Structure 1
């Protein structure tokens, strides 16, 4: 399996894209992780598509991948686009929630990179470049993880998530990303056909993967590592003969099946791994999953809008889920890719996602089976990464580093599985010359005069569009970060200016005026804070966090009637939260005793040991026996 040609710069950039996205970060930002990753992904795919357009202009032909996987990607993005258009806030669905950025733009950017990988003229060369890029970055991130575990963090960031491997956003993503690469590193380390430096890098990669999984202490990291290792072992066994293969494959399959059953039962507090289901993260996930199913049950055909889980979770969560977090905290994802898609786009979007996954698995099997003996380790390594990311996504969600990794791996596998699926056509006006020499036919295509100028124009527009649109969330976050720094310095005027700038860049996003209001309250600028919350409510009238925060500010300003109205509106949109019920009851105890008593009865019925219930009873001059 020799490389048939020297890789182009586009090939190198395409293969390295998942590695570039993984290490992209803005080490001083309010949210230094996902916004810059989205920006880089969007720009990279625009550059790569632009380069492809230029090649088409120069050659006079247009080529595209016509494999089943490519068709599945197109169908998925189309149905997801419909979910964006039917969302309550289409721009928010397009760009995604600030802390996650998992809107349609990220899926389209990652899908575009995957389609380019599937259309590569030399899938083996692309796979080799990908393997080298990912091993190098895996070692770099692993070294960074060791430094963090030792307490030496070269790039400390201010984030609500502490103790993370900084380039990968939080421990779950770090563990999943590192674990997914375990099989690729392991197969490379035992591939005797490779040079020593690459095998040595792979051994270091295995250690780095272990550091990320163990250091992150994440269940999804363990799952990703287990799946990746299992696929790698299967690929290795396929190259063996005799009883080792005959006995080994069923044993691995049985162990994987048992682990899947026990893990699934444990997630729901059943079986010998029942303690797994008692972990806080798993308990919260069950709440999210239940709400996602309820959303889909109410709107099975359209869902609530792509990546709009954050907007509707309060309305669908159970009373027990409401009591787990403070009333102003928002939950922005279902923490399960299929359920997140089901809630956002209904049954149609879930079905096309399942088709996409099924075709990806089909491509992996075909590619591994079609690989020559010497290349099976390479193809199997790519398949192990894709399988691991896909399986861990059942209890996680798609952020840039994982989604791009998944799509590029699937695209490489699709290109190897259907090498003859690339279609091409001559541009209108091209001159096609065919020459037959000694039973060999050579075709030369000369492009029309307008092809190259048009190609440069289209490529420029693509890159300019990516810079304008794809970087919007990042630019908004940079402005928000300036506001955070001004808040620490006590600069009220700069806080307002910076957060207002963030809001002007992303006027669809309720988070920016809300955060501005919180900052102003912290600085004692109550009137200005009330105005900021008003702008947030102008974007989303039922934003409970803004309603509650504004009510507290209005109370401090002695504007009690307005505060009462905000409290009651918040309670209307958040009917389950006991802490909010108590807060509202205490507020109206003097002015609306009947409502306060009604709220007290609801709190007593659900949680008679609530920590504030005695305070409320005393306020109403009641005794526990009344």
Structure 2
């Protein structure tokens, strides 16, 4: 899944750019200004009401600095912001008269005695009122149902995990498919399905990995797993494509580069493996896990001095590199 910043303003800046981040900060500034002005000018219950709403809004802002926004939290943020602005009394409300509504008597200036008012007339309900209420209800229920989609998908995933622990693979697969239908853009759901199907239906598992990669093209873990499965199924070109893309999106991860390089070594691609690993050690020379397979690639290509150098560097960085030590000892005996 795409890594999130665990900081809502920073995540908005990273994913939406400066325009979105500035718009969000403007909303925060307007709400904060309204809250401060309202607390200074209001009294009694009005001030207490604003303090309660403001406390909820401030609590959201604090947790947003260390959390990831979900749909309910996003809705809560905007609702609290609007409630603070309205409760502060700093916004000028605009009256919008709906068709058929009774006229509203304009407010009289302060200090003038108000004449006795007549009780408002009760307007009979019209078919238009019923239609309007129905439309509002349908739209509200639809939005609520859509807002609950992530929660329903997570519930389906948990149900699938529980079924898998019980040994009920069919129920687990059905639950994972339900979660994917609800949120096809969540790479983790596709990866769950792929892991379940790997030993049962490898081609279905590869298709699920493709779904995960489509949902999150930078998901190096899914690319590596798909590469390993495709290799096990004898689909070498498909496996090579997965490993190549994994290195492209995750070039600084020694595990990703090593997986791609060792794949090439296993299938006659020593030159390609050396190229991958030499580029990797140039980026991160302190990774012992990269020098050992580089020594293997150089050894296959006949570059024995280069292989010895790579093994020695691997051991100097991490004395626990037993393979490098064994290969180095073998080369020193034969040279």
TM range (shorter): 0.7 to 0.9
Match of 1:555 among 231, 234, 242: 231
Q: How many residues align?
A: 294
Of 324, 340, 350 in structure 1, the residue corresponding to residue 11 of structure 2 is 340
Q: CA deviation at 1:539?
A: 5.1
Aligned partner of 2:150 in structure 1 is 473
User: Any idea what the Cα deviations from partners look like across 1:219-276, whole Å, max 9, x if unmatched?
Assistant: xxxxxxxxxxxxxxxxxxxxxxxxxxxxxxxxxxxxxxxxxxxxxxxxxxxxxxxxxx
CA contact (8 A) 1:503 1:509 kept: yes
Structure 1 residue 516 corresponds to structure 2 residue 193: yes
Distance, in Å, in 1 between the alignment partners of 2:72 and 2:143 is 18
Q: Would you say the 8 A contact 2:220–2:256 is kept in 1?
A: no
For the 8 Å contact 2:224–2:259, the answer to whether it is kept is: no
User: 1:392 Cα deviation (Å)?
Assistant: 5.2
Q: State which drifts further: 449-458 or 424-433.
A: 424-433
Q: Whole-Å Cα distance in 2 between the matches of residues 420 and 539 of structure 1?
A: 42
Going from structure 1 to structure 2, the CA distance change for 1:390 and 1:461 (only over 3 Å counts) comes to: same
- Counterpart contact for 2:191–2:212, Cα < 8 Å: yes
1:370 to 21, 41, 56: 41
Range moving further from structure 2, 544-553 or 445-454:
445-454
State how far apart, in whole Å, the 2-side matches of 1:538 and 1:376 are. 51
CA distance 1:467–1:585, shift in 2 (3 Å): same
Q: Which digits, 9 at most, give the CA deviation of each residue in 1:66-116, with x for residues without a partner?
A: xxxxxxxxxxxxxxxxxxxxxxxxxxxxxxxxxxxxxxxxxxxxxxxxxxx
- Determine whether 1:425 maps to 2:96: yes
Kindly report which structure 2 residues correspond to 1:279-428, keeping only aligned pairs within 5 A, or say none. 330-372=1-43, 379-380=50-51, 382-391=53-62, 393-399=64-70, 406-418=77-89, 421-428=92-99
Q: Could you say if the C-alpha distance between residues 571 and 346 of structure 1 is closer, same or farther in structure 2, counting changes exceeding 3 Å?
A: same
Q: Decide which of 570, 588, 609 is 2:264's aligned counterpart.
A: 588
Q: 1:554 to 1:467 in 2, by over 3 A?
A: same
CA 1:497–1:385 in 2, change beyond 3 Å: closer, same or farther? Answer: closer
In structure 2, C-alpha distance between the alignment counterparts of 1:387 and 1:433, rounded to whole Å: 36
Structure 2 counterpart of 1:624: 309
Structure 1 gap ranges (5+)? 1-329
Report matched runs for 1:7-26 at 5 Å.
none
Return the match for 1:613 from 290, 295, 308. Answer: 290
Answer whether contact 1:516 1:529 (CA < 8 A) is retained: yes
Question: Could you state the TM-score of these two structures normalised by the residue count of structure 1?
Answer: 0.42
The 8 Å contact of residues 159 and 172 in structure 2, kept in 1 or not, is answered as yes
Distance 1:430 1:563 in 2: 68
Q: How well do the aligned residues superpose, as a CA RMSD in angstroms?
A: 3.4
Change (3 A) 1:471 1:351: same
Structure-2 change in CA distance of 1:450 and 1:617 (3 Å): same
Spell out, residue by residue over 1:122-142, the C-alpha distance to the aligned partner (whole angstroms, 9 max, x if none): xxxxxxxxxxxxxxxxxxxxx
Partners of 1:582 and 1:603 within 8 A in 2: no
Task: Give yes or no for contact 2:60–2:77 (8 Å, CA) kept in 1.
Answer: yes
Kept in 1, the 8 Å contact 2:187–2:215? The answer is yes
1:534–1:388 Cα change, 3 Å: closer
CA–CA distance in structure 2, aligned partners of residues 611 and 625 of structure 1: 9
Does the 8 Å CA contact 1:432/1:446 hold for their aligned counterparts?
Answer: no
The 1:405–1:469 alpha-carbon spacing in structure 2 relative to 1, beyond 3 Å, is: closer
Of structures 1 and 2, the one scoring higher in RCO (CA 8 A, sep 6+) is 1
Whole-Å Cα distance in 2 between the matches of residues 414 and 607 of structure 1? Answer: 52
Corresponding position of 2:162: 485
- Gap change, CA 1:389 and 1:544, over 3 Å in 2: same
Q: What residue in structure 2 maps to residue 74 of structure 1? A: none
* CA distance in 2: counterparts of 1:336 and 1:566, whole angstroms: 31
Q: 2:246 aligns with which of 564, 570, 575?
A: 570
Does the alignment pair 1:526 with 2:202?
yes
8 Å CA contact retained: 1:385, 1:406: no
How far did residue 341 of structure 1 move?
1.6
Q: Secondary structure at the match of 2:95?
A: strand
Q: CA deviation at 1:587?
A: 1.2
Distance (Å, rounded) in 2 between the aligned partners of 1:433 and 1:445: 13
Structure 1 position 396, deviation (Å):
4.2
Distance in 2 between the 1:561 and 1:374 partners? 71
2:96 partner SS: strand
Give me the TM-score of the superposition, normalised by structure 2. Answer: 0.73
Instruction: Tell me which structure has the larger Cα radius of gyration.
Output: 2
CA displacement 1:440-483 (0-9 Å, x = unmatched) = 33454626612431133123312431354233223323332232
1:462 — aligned with what? 139
Structure 1 residues 364 and 433 mapped into 2: Cα distance closer, same or farther (>3 Å)?
closer
Q: C-alpha separation between the residues in 2 aligned to 1:386 and 1:467?
A: 21
Instruction: Work out the CA distance in 1 between the residues paired with 2:145 and 2:88.
Output: 36
Contact 1:476/1:506 (8 A) holds in 2:
yes
